[in-house]
Amino acid sequence: MKIFTSIALCLSLLSGCFDAGGATSANYSDDIDAVRDYVADGQSNDDLIGELAGRHGKVTWLAGPWDDKQSDQLILVSASIRKKLDNADRELTLLYRYDRTSHDVVLDKVLLDGQVQSVVGGAVAMLAMKLE
């Protein structure tokens, strides 16, 4: 009986996490779609992220307010790619700023393993991801 109670508690906690995550993503799903579908230099962001991830990378798209103090029209959308490079787990994250009013999409930052990259460093990190 003790094991059953523990399992029931874990399942209820997990279902609460999924419900909360679903509500949050539902609020921003249109914003994520807009950033994914945005075409720059003849390629959508979704295609770019897919190329960078390759066959073995795992992609996670998330969104939330750009800044709680600013308008709710500016949204932060991130695309995180996790994959092995040179036998090490690496994470490349592209942070986009999406304006709900003008529908502008701007690549704001590139992070490699949580560290902000310069323009050149970001380009090199993206190339390394693409080359697998």
CA dist., res. 40 & res. 66, Å (int): 21
Closest to 80 in 3D by CA, of 108, 56, 107, 113:
113
| Whether the predicted pLDDT of 113 surpasses 80 | yes
Which pLDDT tens digit goes with each residue over 89-110?
989 999 999 999 999 999 999 9
Q: What per-residue confidence (pLDDT) applies to 14?
A: 33
**Confidence tier at 59 by pLDDT (50, 70, 90):** very high
Long-range contact set of residues 106-109: C-beta below 8 Å, sequence gap at least 24: 108/76
**Confidence tier at 123 by pLDDT (50, 70, 90):** confident
CA 82, distance to chain mean position in Å, is: 10
Rounded to two decimals, what is the model's pTM? 0.73
| Whether the predicted pLDDT of 10 surpasses 80 | no
Once rounded to an integer, what is the mean pLDDT over residues 5-34? Answer: 53
Rg (CA), the chain: 18
Which pLDDT tens digit goes with each residue over 74-86?
999 999 999 987 7
**Confidence tier at 132 by pLDDT (50, 70, 90):** low
